[in-house]
Each structure stands twice: as structure tokens, then as C-alpha cells.
Structure 1
């Protein structure tokens, strides 16, 4: 039977990594994969993570299963980061959190819940969006449609187009929002725009799902949650998928969570009981190690403060690279203005490079990026940024 199965196309991002790995050139640069790298080209383990792991190694007494919803302390800390420690949602016990295998696992659990329990058949995602969103939602049986988001003329947000589309979404359908550091564009709504979107969602009463994978990488922990919290103040029911791959550097530990917010604790309990049956039929219960690292750091005041500083250092490093890239391209008299890159948020930038230019960068210069022109700014360093800017200036 297996002979009937045809080969699947390569994943647009992971396939790019495979091509990069097989390239024999020593001066090649990978701007495709979404991981933070330091100036040595290494994705580092945070000092707070190493300290937490040391404590766990010395104090751990069992490898028994976690509950279906994961580590209770971890789940509580996730809610604190999302909504703030003084949140009415937490005070009134309206949220339930399930620890998941990464943000991807959280998205899939949310999708299954929407399809099975809410009868959602269609989800609206930004144009463009993370390449894997379509795979996740389609695998859960959802139809995926796009709402206007990126304005290629201004290299900014098409907010009017976004509002126009969302005003027509029926309440039986779902809408996905990127909480901050939009992937792939790096373009986020302003706080005023978030408030308008929250008001629209309340009026239209469609199902709201947040993908929140980069908290702390735009302006700060609380600042980056402002859009989500604006929704939380107005919309009584929310689904949130969050990840700690980036801000804790726990990429291969697969640490995420799916949080459900309901109008009251009784409704939350009932809905979450169905979330747990979905998890039980999928991966049964989550892995422990990564979540225990996060919980150890967030429940210790000194470690938490040190972690927040480490995230700030990563955020500042990316912003320096953005500003340097803009200046270096201007110095090379690139035949277009790349100033917008300085004003985008997070790890990614939608550069506006065409597929032909992306292909030429790969073939002629060993600079790898996604075909859409999205780059991982954090894939650059002081060692390779000049070569990257030389190549981009040449192809444009």
C-alpha cells in the first residue's frame, strides 16, 4: 500500500534548512529558520535556563506522568504572563490552561476544540501568515481563508482592509490574531487599533484565537500583551496558543500552552473538560522538563528578573541588527528605501524582495530566505551582516 503514497512537497521553512545544510559554501547565511542566534551564530541556552535545570537535576524525585493539562504551577504562571497578575480573569477563575507540546500543539488543540465543540468550519488568518498555520487548521478539518493585512505599497498594515474583511465574519467562524511580532511581516497593530479590533470582535461575536509566540520580543512582557489584554477586557470568550520557544530559548523542549477564557468559572470547567478529552486522544499528557524549567524561573523572583533582562538583551540585539541593516543598505545606495525594517517588531521582517531576487540571493550569494522575502533578522550577526547587505544591494 505504501507504494501508492506520493512524496509530499518540502516544507517551505524546514525544506529550506535542508537545502542550506547541503550547501558546501562556507560563507552561506541562513535567514530562513526562526531561531534567535547570537553573534557567534549560536542559539544559546539562557543562563536562567541553565540555573533552573541545575536545580531540577538536583531536586527531581520522579519521572511519573503529568496530568492531562500539565504542571499546575506552570499553567498558573502562563496565565499571569498573558493577563497580568491583577487580571480580573484570574481573580474570577475564568481561565483554564493546558500545557502543550509547543505553540504548534496548542494551535492544534484549539483547532480541534473549535471544530468539534463549537462547530467552527472556517478560520480567517492574516495575509500573509505563518506558513504552518494552514497545515494545522486544515488537518483539523477547518477551511482557511485570508483577511487583508499587509500593504505592499506602504510596507505597513492594511488596517482598513483588515477591518473591512472582519466586519463580515459570521459568529459561527473563527479569526486568528498574532499577539505581537507578526510572523512573517513584523508589523503589529497599534494599541488603538487593537482596541478597535477588540470592539469589532465583541460586536461580531466570532470565535477569537490568539497565536502568542513572541511575548517580550517587541517592547516588553506587559507591553507585548497589550493587544491580548484589550481583547480580554471586552470579549468574554477567548482561545490563546502561546509558546516559550523564543523567549526562553526552549526550542527543542517544545513548551507551549493552550488557554481557554470563558464568561464564568462553571462554563470554563465544562469547556475545558472537552479540551482534556481532545488532548487525551492526541498525546495523552505533555512532557515535563521544559515546563518545569519555565515554572522554576517564573516562581523565583531573582530568576524571573534575570530572565526578563535576558529577553530584553535578545530584543535589543535584534533591534541593533535592524538599524544596522537599514543603515548599511543605505550606505550601499540600495535602489529602494529599507527604512521600514527598523520599525517592525520581533525576529522577522517582510523585506519586499521578490521571489526572483530571493532565488538569486540563494544561488549567487548563499543567502537563504523564505520565498516570500521574509527574513529572520536574528539570523544575522556582526560577522555576516555586511555580506548580507552587499548581496541584497546587488540584487535590488
Structure 2
């Protein structure tokens, strides 16, 4: 008998468990986003952005790509491209609805606060004043993702990145092609200065055509972690670790000089100060990309996935938040503005402690509710039917 060959997607890989490192890091990133979005929060001086040319947004995007490899590339391997693409479309739809809902609630929160407290500056500072000037046009532009107030530009970025992943899944078995196309697009966008249009204000604050390179880096890292075709990862090496630490150390020095030592900044050579000022976030400057990759290498190479501490009570709140990034992020945006209002009333250490403890606790509660909801709606396996007696043995 002739041997039949089968064409189609590669054989499905066994589905690995969740990576606690990714959940914890995502939870930390979400917590930092809340802190950084709260003006006057003393903890803002201790977040990642103060110690590297990268911040929680870079971590969030890279981890989104990492999770995408497990969720969607894994599904494509098991079921084919079409079901995975359909799952991506459903996720994009959920993100879009969440973004519009968050926009409406955030606008109401800020607008009501501005009217009640007579602080019209809130609307101008958060770029919500077009709602007062052209409400119908502003709403239309918001639905088209061309109007993005401050703090509400991360979900549109995520929507575009997941949209690019739909055709990208077709190349999941060709990692070098994926990396080459991604790098070419990133470099081309930076060189041409191209960006997606934004109503009234030029381009998007986070240019998704540039930030996709960080998403792709996370995707390829996830592919390697689950044993799928990927780029060979750098081995665990003290030399590579030393180089990564040098990159991060230079970032610390650069941030200290540029943010906290203006006198020293003025004494530096003009080319060096111009270089520091030119490390842009919109099109993901190479220094920002390199900083995040250096930090990722250190975590991936020197924090074991099975380390018992990662499942201890000390870090479980961050892991819980990381498992439910969408509700935690949306609630965190609203929470950060409420925290700002409290800190503006009284900025003493007691209020600082209270605001940060209450904010952190509220985010953990949201994550626990999401955990409970997921377990409640998850379909339970049907019980096995009772064995039937053989004929004539009853």
C-alpha cells in the first residue's frame, strides 16, 4: 500500500502552561502605568522609566507579542490559520469595544470633575477639549481611532498590532522572514517619518508600524518558548549578561543626566545632548528597543520559569493582574485620574500611602473578579457516561 502524505499546518505542539514570569512582568507593567499616569505620585520616581530608556509600555507590547505566540500561533498550529484568524478578530473586536467604552467613561469622569471643581485645565491637559468644541466630529474621529486623548493611545496601538498578526500567522513557520520584514518596516518607517494620521494632531503618539518590531520580538520569543520554529535565542552567557547590564547602566546614567541634572546636561557636548533629546518614543528609537531587549534577556536567561518564588504569595497579586490585562488596564486608567484628584486635595505622606495602597488593592480585586468570572463561564467537561452492562449479564 502506498504511503499517503498529508499537507497542511505543522503538527500541533503540546500546549505548555502559563509562564509565570510573563504574567508577573505584565502585572508590574500595568501597575507602573497607573503610577506614571498619576501626577504627583511619589512612586513615579521609582518606575522603570526613571532607570532605562524604556518604560512599562515597551514591556506591555513585548509581552503582548509573547502571549500572542502561545494563544494564536499555537491555535493556528492545532486548528489551522482560519480559526486562529477568527479568534484574533474576536479579540480585536473586544479591544475596540473596551477602548470606546473607556473613552466614554474617562471623558465623563474628567468632564464632570472639571465642571465640579472648576478645573477646565483638565480637559486641555488630557486633550479632551475637542469634545467641548466639536462633540459630534470628535465622537466620529474617536470611533475611527483618529482621536486619541492622553492615556488612551495604548489600546489603539494594540488593536493595530493584533491586526498585523492576522497575516503574520501565515509566516509563523518562517521566523527569519518575519524578523526581516519587521525590521525593514521599522527602519523604513523611521527613515521616511511615516505614521498613521491622527485628527488635528499629526500622527499617532505610538506609531504602530514602528512598534510592531517590539511586538514581533516578543512573538518570536514566545515561539521559541513553546518549541515552535523561531530565531535561535542567545545562550546564557556572562559576557552577554555583562553587555546587557552595560546597556541598562548607560540608560540609568542617561536618564539621571537628562531628567535630574540640567546643569550637567548644559555642559555636555552638543552632539551628546542632541542624541539624548532625540531618543524618541513615537517611532521606537533603537536605544529604547535595545534597552528593552537587554532587560528581556536578563529576565529570560536568569529567572527560571519554575522558580518557586514566582508562585509565592509575594508576587501572586501581580500574576493575577497580568492574567487579566484588559480589565485591569481599563480600570487602572480611571483609577489613576481619581488618585490624582485625591493627591491634589492633600499631598502628604499619609495620602500618598493611602492612595497607592487603595489603588493597588482595587486592581487586585478587579483581577480576582476576572479570575472568578473566567472560572464561572468556562465550560466544564461533561461527565463520562456510566458503563452499560453487556447483553445477557444484567
TM-score bracket for the superposition, by shorter chain length = under 0.3
Q: Tell me the TM-score normalized by structure 1.
A: 0.26
Higher strand share: 1
TM-score (norm 2): 0.26
